[in-house]
Structure 1
Amino acid sequence: MKSINHIEKIRKFNRYYANVLGKIDQDIYNQSFTLTEARVMTEIYYIDGCTATEVSEKLGIDRGYLSRIVQRFEDEKIIIKKQSIDDKRQYALYLTEYGTEIFKDLVENANRGVDKMIQNLSEKELIRLVVSMETIESIYSKEHSFHSEVFVRPFQPGDVGYVAYLHGRLYDKTYKFGRMFEYYVMKGLTEFMIDTEGGELWVAEVHGEIVGSIAITKSSNTSAQLRWFVLNENYQGKGIGKKLMETAINFCEERNYTHVFLWTVSTLETARYLYNKYNFRLTEEKPNKEWTGTTLIEERWDLFLTDENSKI
C-alpha cells in the first residue's frame, strides 16, 4: 500500500471536492437536471451519435441508471435514438434541436455560476487553481494520449534559464545563429524577470520535460509584445505551438490589450505560418547582421484584437 499519509490527503481532498460538486449541482445547473444528467447531455452533444454503452464507460455511470436518464431524455424530446447500421443492438444518441437549446442554457448557467465562484480570486490564485486542475487531469487521465500529456503553465524559478537554453540550442543547431543571439535572449529574459507587470511567461511540458515557451510583455496600456516563442524541434507539428499561441492571445484579451506585435526573421517559416494563421500581419522589415554573420531580414508582425477577424 502507498504511504498512508498520501492516501489520507487524497481522501480528504475527495471529501472536500465532493462538496464543491454538490454546490455546482445545486447552484449552477438548472434545477430540473442533476449534474450527472448534465454530464450525459454534454457527452451526447460533443460526441454526436455516441451509444449509451460508450457514455456509460466514459463517465463511469451504472448502465441501469444511465438507461433511466436516456429514457427520460427521449420522453422529453431532448434526444432521439437511431439504430446503428453496424450493430442492430446498439442505438446512436443525438440531441434534438430542443435538446441543443437546453444544453446551451446549461452551459450559460454553468459559466455564470463558475464566474461567481471565482470572482474573489486574484489572477495569480486563479492561475494556480487552473494549473492544479490541469495537473490532476493530466496525471489521472486514463487516456494517456500525447495531447493529454501536454501541459502549459506559467514559469517557475529555474525555468527561465532553460528557456534561454532552448533558444540557444535550437537557433544554433537549426539556423546557425551565434552566441550574440543567445545573449540577446538572456538579456531580455533577465529584464523581464525584474519587472513582469502586465506580462507572463509560459512553458510547455511533455511528461515533465520543458519543450517550449511563449511570453507576453507589456508595451503600453493597450499594446503588448509576444516574445520568446520557441519549441523543441522534436515536438513540432504536434499542436503544442498552437496551444502556446492561444494561451498568449487569451491572456492579452483578458488584460484588454487591443494590439499585439512581435519580431521574427524571414527564415522561420513554421513560426511565420502560425503567426499568419492567427491573423498577425507583416508590417515592417529590416536587415540584421548580428547573429549569423550574414544578413537576415527581421520582420515585425502586428495583430489588432479589436478587428472582427482577429480570432480563429
Structure 2
Amino acid sequence: MNTTNPQLSIPAIRDASRRLVRELGFMKPTLAGTHLPASAVHALIEIGENGISSAAELCDVLCLEKSSVSRMLRKLIDNGELIETCAERDGREKQLTLSAKGHQTLAAINQFAYAQVSNALINMPASAQSKVQHGLSIYGEALAASRKKVHPTVFPVEHGVNIVRGYRPGVLGRAVEMHARYYAGFAGFGHFFEAKVASGMAEFAGRMDKSCNQLWFAMREAQVVAVIAIDGEDLGSNIAHLRWFIVDDEVRGSGIGRRLLSEAISFCEQQQFSKIQLWTFRGLDTARRLYEAAGFVLREERPGRQWGEEVMEQRFSRPVLGGQL
C-alpha cells in the first residue's frame, strides 16, 4: 500500500496548489483573457479538443453537477459559442459542437494559455521544466484517483461492501443466480423465469457500451450481493427501464438497495430521461416501500404471466427532472 513520503510537507503542497490557482487566474470571474468563467473555458477546450460531445460526459470530466453544467451550456449556446444537435444514433441524446465563434474563442484561449505557460517556463531552469510537467501530471492523476474512490465508480457503502458501476466478469451470472434462487422460494418461479432473466441480461450486455444503458452492483469481498440496471433503449419514448433489481438475503435491510436505487435515479437524471418505469408484482412489500420512498407511483395493476407464473403484475413509474408520470 502506498504511504505519504515523510519528507514531503502537506502544508507546502497545499500552499503551492493555492498559488497555482491564484496565478492561473481561477480566482477571477473570467479566465484566459475571455469573458467566460473557468467552467465555460474548460468546457470549450474539452468539446473542441478532446472529443467530449454530451452534457453527461462534461459532468464527469469537469467534476460538476448536472444542474451547473446545464446552466453553463445553455449560456454558451445562447451566446453562439456552441451548437446543440440530436445525435445520429439516438435522437434523445444532444450532441455538442463548437460553432465558428466557439472555434475563434478556443483559439484565443489556447494562444493565451500557451503564452502564459511559456512565460513561466522562461523563469525556471531547463532541468526543472520536465519535472514540472511530470509532477503536475502525476499529482492530477492522484487527486482524481482519490476522488473516484468515493464517487462514482467505486465507493464504500458500509464496512466491507462497495458499489461498482459497469460490467465485471461474473456479475451477469451472479445476478441470474440471485433472481432464480430468491423468486423460486418466494413465488415458485422455475426454469422459465431463470431463462427469461438470463436471456434478457445477455441481450442487454450487448448494448452496455451505449451511454444510455448502465449496470451497478454491490460487492462484499469477492461476492456480488446486489444488482440493478437501467435500460435506456427497450421502452423507447425517452423512458428509462429499471431492470433486474435484486438484493441478496444476507445484506437485505442494510441500505445497499436504497443506495443502488439512488445511483440509478441519478444516472437517469444525467441522461435526461423523461421518466423511469419498472415492472414488479404484488406481494413484494419491502421493494414497494423502497420504490415509493424514491418517488415511484403505482400506475397499473393486472394479472399476468410474463415471468412464467400468474401473478398480479404492477407497473410503477417516476418522473425525471420535471417529466410526466
* Shorter-normalised TM range: 0.5 to 0.7
What is the one-letter code of the residue matched to 2:164? R
1:205 aligns with 2:219: yes
2:140 is aligned to none
**Local SS of the residue matching 1:237:** coil
Q: Is this contact kept in 2: 1:176–1:292, CA < 8 A?
A: no
CA shift at 1:258, angstroms?
1.9
Which of the numbers 270, 273, 278 marks the counterpart of 1:254?
270
Distance 1:160 1:131 in 2: 28
Q: Is this contact kept in 1: 2:275–2:323, CA < 8 A?
A: no
Q: What is the aligned-residue identity percentage?
A: 26
1:304 is aligned to 319
Which ranges of structure 2 fall in alignment gaps of 5 or more residues?
23-37, 64-143
Q: How does 1:147-162 map to 2 (within 5 A)?
A: 147-154=158-165, 155-162=167-174
**Local SS of the residue matching 2:236:** coil
1:268 aligns with 2:300: no
2:243 is aligned to 227
Which ranges of structure 1 fall in alignment gaps of 5 or more residues?
1-5, 30-111
Change (3 A) 1:308 1:187: closer
Change (3 A) 1:215 1:291: closer
**Local SS of the residue matching 1:156:** coil
Q: TM-score, normalised to structure 1's length?
A: 0.56
Residue-by-residue CA offset, 1:76-115 (whole Å, 9 max, x unaligned): xxxxxxxxxxxxxxxxxxxxxxxxxxxxxxxxxxxx88x9
Distance 1:303 1:23 in 2: 47
Residue-by-residue CA offset, 1:89-146 (whole Å, 9 max, x unaligned): xxxxxxxxxxxxxxxxxxxxxxx88x969x95975986995885139xx99x9xxxx7
CA shift at 1:242, angstroms?
0.6
The count of corresponding residues between Structure 1 and Structure 2 is: 210
CA shift at 1:147, angstroms?
1.7
What is the one-letter code of the residue matched to 1:301? F
**Local SS of the residue matching 1:227:** strand
Distance 1:19 1:160 in 2: 47
Q: How does 1:234-245 map to 2 (within 5 A)?
A: 234-245=250-261
What is the one-letter code of the residue matched to 2:261? M
1:168 aligns with 2:180: yes
Change (3 A) 1:289 1:258: closer
Q: Is this contact kept in 2: 1:285–1:299, CA < 8 A?
A: yes
2:189 is aligned to 177
More helix by share: 1
Distance 1:217 1:23 in 2: 45
What is the one-letter code of the residue matched to 1:190? A
RMSD: 4.1
Distance 1:19 1:195 in 2: 48
CA shift at 1:176, angstroms?
2.0
Q: Is this contact kept in 1: 2:272–2:320, CA < 8 A?
A: no
**Local SS of the residue matching 1:248:** helix
Change (3 A) 1:184 1:116: same
Q: How does 1:1-312 map to 2 (within 5 A)?
A: 25=18, 120=46, 123=57, 132-134=148-150, 147-154=158-165, 155-196=167-208, 197=210, 198-218=212-232, 219-220=235-236, 222-289=238-305, 291=307, 293=309, 295-307=310-322
